[in-house]
Amino acid sequence: MGERTSEQRPRENQVLWQHLRKIEKQNAQYLSLFNQLPQGIFIYHLEDLDNDATLRLVAANPAVQWITGAEPQDIVGKTLDENFPELREQSIPHIYSDVVRTGNTVAFEMVYRDDHVIESAFAVRAFPLPGHCVGVSFDTITLHKQAEDALEQLNAELEQRVRERTEELRLREQLLHTVMDSSPAAMYLKDLNGRFLLVNKQTSALLGLSPEAMQGKLDTELFPLAFAMQWRANEQQAIDAGEPISLEETVNQEDGLHTFLSVRMPMYDESGAIHAIAGIATDITERKQMENAFYAQRERYRSLVESIDDWIWEVNADGLYAYSSPGVIELLGYTPEEMIGKSPFDFMPPDEAERVAIIFQVALQQQQPLHRFENRLLRKDGCEVIVETNGVPFFAADGTMCGYRGIDHDVTAQRRMEADRAALQQQIIDAQREALRELSTPLIPLSDTVMMMPLIGTIDSGRAQQVMETLLDGVARQRASMVILDITGVSVVDTQVAQAIIQTAQAVRLLGAKMMLTGIRPQIAQTLVHLGVDLSGIITRGSLQAGIAAALR
């Protein structure tokens, strides 16, 4: 092949320059779309295939700053260990290196935090890229895009410069295509006439068409007119706004209706004019299902709470009501709205508030639950009610105690019934005690002037006092002149019992009557003599029969 002539060289350069401009324009579109990806994107280069410590970050999109707090220019060029040292504990460098070596894409979930990154959960996807590179995309709730890439300076020689830039742009285009096709989101780029300029695999799979079938075609050529025009109407909103817009869209697929969070973004050329529209759609069907399930469950709990007669409440860390169920209306006569911002002590008698404050302060300091804690509350009409309180502390994600949640059960009627039952039991006990008292010291009239008291069993000081009181009361009431005290049934007589008998006889004499002691058994007589008891002032008979006969003569 001969050398180029001076006339051929400019023409070839012109062709190369036009080709470069075309590639640069297309690459600018890809790069602009890459910069607005909702996922964070890292591209690492494995410098040594046998050493995962040589994973060096060569590119990062702006969403990384929002997710990790690190600016791309501060972390690009550094190794993975330098930027995120805690990832090694989770074997992340090994995983990324395996992607480079095996060419396999991996997806996993992980939790990460360090001194600069707040603890977060990520869904990570690592995929192979050309040139011993690995791309890493990770999902976040809020999606942002940004990336900074600098173009190499043109070489002095235009031909060399064109060749280098052409190769660079080709690689960038290849990387961008790989990143887009590896993203779980559907992405596309259209001109203002509705012609598809770029689609990724997820978009083609979603719409049931291959990327080749969609590339360069109008949306109205590929889809029903109503569907295409609605699509354009959504895109026109972003064009009119001059900025990205977000909306939810539903698409009917083979497994049912899917919900997508779609972002429409106007694309600007170098002159600042909108020349294309980009779209990104993320399938949020599972999230919407979880949200709907959450709302349904919350509604079930709300209905359950409102149907319970008991009062369910929540107080914040300051001890003020932050929630009150409708059960408070029946219990205290206040509406739930009237309770909000008030303290439980505002609804207690002063003495009860003082008592409960001490107990609650201890529970608060130790973060202990309240279990079957009874306290008194004041109704709106001034009446007191007794409630049984059960409550537990609840905490924020960082472990800070936020307050207490609990339930109050009205036990006023139950406690009144218990009090009435206790009073009735006491009356029965008192009546039984009085009956036993009368049975233990029976006083039997034998005539108008003679009375008899037979004693059985053991006599202690209490019973001896009861004997004296009963005898004296009977003598006074019956105006008796003789009282027979029979101790046939008494097994033991000690000094205390003997002294009580003598004192009783003396008291009877003071009332003008006499006392006769009958039923003294030989062993008791021996004991009395042994104790030196003086019974000279008391009439004695050996048996009750002899005593009655003597008294009635």
Domains of the chain: 20-165 (3.30.450.20), 185-288 (3.30.450.20), 308-414 (3.30.450.20), 441-552 (3.30.750.24)
Q: Is 90 exceeded by the pLDDT of residue 254?
A: no
pLDDT grade for 126, boundaries at 50, 70 and 90: very high
Residues 6+ apart with CB under 8 A from 223: 207, 231
What is the pLDDT, as a whole number, of residue 269?
Answer: 84
Which of 306-310, 397-401, 522-526 is predicted most confidently?
397-401
Q: Of 217, 207, 221, which is closest to residue 249 (Cα–Cα)?
A: 207
Backbone conformation region of residue 215, classed left if phi is above 0, alpha if psi is from -120 to 50, else beta: beta
Q: What is the pLDDT of residues 237-249, one digit of tens each?
A: 888 888 888 777 7
- Could you tell me the pTM of the whole model? 0.34
CB-neighbour burial class of residue 2 (10 A; exposed 0-12, middle 13-18, buried 19+):
exposed
What is the pLDDT, as a whole number, of residue 146?
Answer: 32
pLDDT grade for 80, boundaries at 50, 70 and 90: very high
What is the pLDDT, as a whole number, of residue 404?
Answer: 92
Q: Of 40, 52, 65, which is closest to residue 94 (Cα–Cα)?
A: 52
Q: Is 80 exceeded by the pLDDT of residue 4?
A: no
Q: Any idea which of 141-150, 368-377, 421-430 has the lowest mean pLDDT?
A: 141-150
Average confidence score pLDDT of the chain: 79
Residues 6+ apart with CB under 8 A from 548: 446, 450, 452, 484
133 vs 504, higher pLDDT:
133
Q: Is 80 exceeded by the pLDDT of residue 296?
A: no
Percent with pLDDT over 90 in the chain: 17
pLDDT grade for 145, boundaries at 50, 70 and 90: very low
pLDDT grade for 103, boundaries at 50, 70 and 90: very high
What is the pLDDT, as a whole number, of residue 143?
Answer: 39
Q: Is 50 exceeded by the pLDDT of residue 436?
A: no
Q: Is 80 exceeded by the pLDDT of residue 142?
A: no
Under 8 Å between Cβ of 443 and 451: yes
pLDDT grade for 46, boundaries at 50, 70 and 90: very high
Q: Is 70 exceeded by the pLDDT of residue 9?
A: no
What is the pLDDT, as a whole number, of residue 447?
Answer: 87
**CA separation for the pair 489, 350 (Å, rounded):** 60
Q: What is the pLDDT of residues 479-531, one digit of tens each?
A: 888 988 888 887 777 777 778 788 888 888 888 888 888 888 888 788 778 87
Distances, alpha carbon 211 to alpha carbons 28, 173, 188, 195, 199, in Å: 20, 16, 10, 13, 6
176 vs 121, higher pLDDT:
121
